[in-house]
């Protein structure tokens, strides 16, 4: 038997529980950082493996600033996640990327948070992947065999290579491929001042379609797709471990797993939304 006082207490308890559930659903009482990372994790595990590449409406000055209206209207990858699917959560230091295109170039922009921006290498095609870099891989004909790799360091040092199959030939041979890539980097802080606290760096690249091997259409046609992925390596010292992040997380610890890549989809939609 439930007495009247017990009935009132029970009703009050049910009301409190319902209110708490409603507040949680609306986002009240939820730590914003925890909620952001939870939502990003859900997006990474269930999100699209396609990134829309919108057309430019005017010239892009490759200067690392990203102040053109087209960059503001470009589709974003969202936050990169840790590169392994076993832990696809966003690293503490965030990275995002955006792509654009016109008849001549694929434009790539990386925005990288980094509290210690440094780079030791200064010559093209040195192994900058042993330090800090942002990277794009492109399989232009979707054959999951031949592909290009483009890397940029905070010192605006470029590494570009062409592989005929996974990791073959050796990177030193593959890096003999040199495309006429335009690139620029802006550092928000001081490069190679190891005792200060930086905020990050922005990299911008223009990759000429005419110098991509096995590309089917120059320029691409709306609806064409390149298999590809985007990465960031954050290290404290050369070859010293580090944090590895990706747009599309991988099934194993190798950036060259083409079967795990997503797709860059060329659109006739203008970056200004018109």
DSSP the chain: ---HHHHHHHHHHHHHHHHHHHHHHHTTT--HHHHHHHHHHHHHHHS-SEEEEEEPSS----SS---SHHHHHSPB--S-EESBTTS-PPPSS-EEEEEEE-SSEEEEEEEEE-SS------STTS-GGGS-EEEEEEETT--SS-EEEEEE-TT--EEEEEESBTTBS-HHHHTT-----EEEEEEES-TT-TTS---EEEEEEEEEGGGSTT-SSSSPPTT-EEEEEEEEEE-SSTTS--EEEESS-BSSS-TT-GGG-EEEEEEEEETT--
pLDDT digits (tens, 9 = 90+) for 78-93: 999 999 998 889 999 9
Chain mean position to CA 128: 18
The predicted model gives 139-156 an average pLDDT of 98
| pLDDT band at residue 274 under the 50/70/90 scheme | low
Chain mean position to CA 71: 15
The Cα–Cα gap between 248 and 241 comes to 20
The predicted model gives 203-215 an average pLDDT of 97
State residue 60's pLDDT score.
Answer: 98
pLDDT digits (tens, 9 = 90+) for 166-192: 999 999 999 999 999 999 999 999 999
Give yes or no for residue 157 having a pLDDT over 90. yes
Q: Which residue has the higher pLDDT, 26 or 246?
A: 246
The Cα–Cα gap between 248 and 165 comes to 20
State residue 239's pLDDT score.
Answer: 86
The pLDDT mean for the chain works out to: 87
Give yes or no for residue 40 having a pLDDT over 50. no
| pLDDT band at residue 210 under the 50/70/90 scheme | very high
| pLDDT band at residue 256 under the 50/70/90 scheme | very high
Q: Which pTM was predicted?
A: 0.83
The Cα–Cα gap between 227 and 264 comes to 6
The Cα–Cα gap between 149 and 159 comes to 8
Other CB atoms within a 10 A radius of the CB of residue 206 amount to 20
State residue 87's pLDDT score.
Answer: 87
Exposed e or buried b per residue across 146-183, where buried means at least 16 C-beta atoms within 10 angstroms of its C-beta: bbbbbbbbbbbbbbbbbbeeeeeeeeeebbeeebebbb
| pLDDT band at residue 15 under the 50/70/90 scheme | very low
Other CB atoms within a 10 A radius of the CB of residue 34 amount to 9
Q: Report the CATH architecture of 50-270.
A: Sandwich (2.60)
Look-up of token digits 């985007």? 230
State residue 47's pLDDT score.
Answer: 52
């Amino acid at each position: 038997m439930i007495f009247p006082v017990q009935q009132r207490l029970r009703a009050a308890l049910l009301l409190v529980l319902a209110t708490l559930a409603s507040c949680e659903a609306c986002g009240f009482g939820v730590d914003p950082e925890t909620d952001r990372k939870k939502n990003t994790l859900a997006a990474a595990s269930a999100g699209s493996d396609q990134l829309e590449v919108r057309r430019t409406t005017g010239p892009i000055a490759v200067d690392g600033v990203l102040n053109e209206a087209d960059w503001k209207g470009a589709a974003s990858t969202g936050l990169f996640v840790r590169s392994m699917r076993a832990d696809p959560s966003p690293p503490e230091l965030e990275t995002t990327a955006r792509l654009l295109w016109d008849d001549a170039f694929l434009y790539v922009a990386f925005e990288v948070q980094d509290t210690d921006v440094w780079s030791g290498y200064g010559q093209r095609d040195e192994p900058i992947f042993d330090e800090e870099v942002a990277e794009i891989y492109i399989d232009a004909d979707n054959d999951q065999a031949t592909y290009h790799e483009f890397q940029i360091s905070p010192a605006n040092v470029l590494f570009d290579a062409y592989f005929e199959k996974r990791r073959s030939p050796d990177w030193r041979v593959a890096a003999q491929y040199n495309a006429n890539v335009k690139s620029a980097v802006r550092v928000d802080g001081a490069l190679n001042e190891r005792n200060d606290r930086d905020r990050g760096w922005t990299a911008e690249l223009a990759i000429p379609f005419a110098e991509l091997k096995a590309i089917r259409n120059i320029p691409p046609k709306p609806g064409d797709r390149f298999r590809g992925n985007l990465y960031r390596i954050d290290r404290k010292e050369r070859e010293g471990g580090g944090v590895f992040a990706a747009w599309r997380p991988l099934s194993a610890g190798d950036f060259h797993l083409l079967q795990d890549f997503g797709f860059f989809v060329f659109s006739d939609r203008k970056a200004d939304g018109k």
